[in-house]
Chains A and B, each alone.
Chain A
Amino acid sequence: DSGVTQTPKHLITATGQRVTLRCSPRSGDLSVYWYQQSLDQGLQFLIQYYNGEERAKGNILERFSAQQFPDLHSELNLSSLELGDSALYFCASSGRQGNTGELFFGEGSRLTVL
């Protein structure tokens, strides 16, 4: 158990809909990262938050947004969903900004868009 909790584990929805994925980082970790893993693709970095502020942005679509709340949990909002958004979305946390320490991953949220 990494200590990172993601909900929901599985989600099935239709094109055009909006979903919210939730992540609770490991206790004490200030950084939260979101990654997307599509079929036959590696882990693609979406966005990172540190202590409530956005710190780095990757290949995140404009239809996607995220935030980190004062209690450090994070939410990834995916809107106007398309079939290609079907993927496994991972959240990871780490201790400090700039730290080279390891990432602790949640179990992922599997999104299926029909």
Chain B
Amino acid sequence: ILNVEQSPQSLHVQEGDSTNFTCSFPSSNFYALHWYRWETAKSPEALFVMTLNGDEKKKGRISATLNTKEGYSYLYIKGSQPEDSATYLCAFLGNYGQNFVFGPGTRLSVLP
């Protein structure tokens, strides 16, 4: 059974704080890793698609890094804002099949 883990499970930060979360995935048979942002009562939306070891992607105040050799990815949020409150999901795609395995998510609450 393929295991994709995320930590922490939930996180409360103050507005303006910077924060980061971790996604751990199998280090073998890597094909791609996605990060999604899922706001309450909405559907998940893609933040980043990462395919190469050492990839670093950035979108505004949010960035992500990828280490396929050790099987982890970090998501960073700089200067958190209340609108960043959401569940952040990572999804692993192995090269053995064509389905994404999602982690359980990290629920972020940014307090004003």
Contacts and interface: CB of A to CB of B under 8 A. Distances in A.
Contacts of B91: 43, 103
Given A33-B99, A42-B104, A100 B44 contact: no
Interface string B92-111: 01000111111111000000
B98 A103 contact: no
A108 B98 CA distance: 21
A106 B97 CA distance: 23
B101 A45 contact: yes
B105 A103 contact: no
Contact of A102 (B46, B98, B99): B46
Interface residues of B, number: 23
Contacts of A56: 97-99
A102 B43 contact: no
B50 to A, nearest CB: 9
A48 B42 contact: no
Interface in B12-46: 31-32, 34, 36, 42-46
A67 B101 CA distance: 21
Contacts of A75: none
B43 A2 contact: yes
A55 interface: yes
B81 interface: no
Most buried by A among B34, B99, B102, B103: B99
B95 to A, nearest CB: 9
Interface string B42-56: 111110010100000
Nearest to A58: B99
Interface of A: 2, 4, 33, 35, 41-45, 48, 50, 55-56, 58, 90, 97-98, 100-108
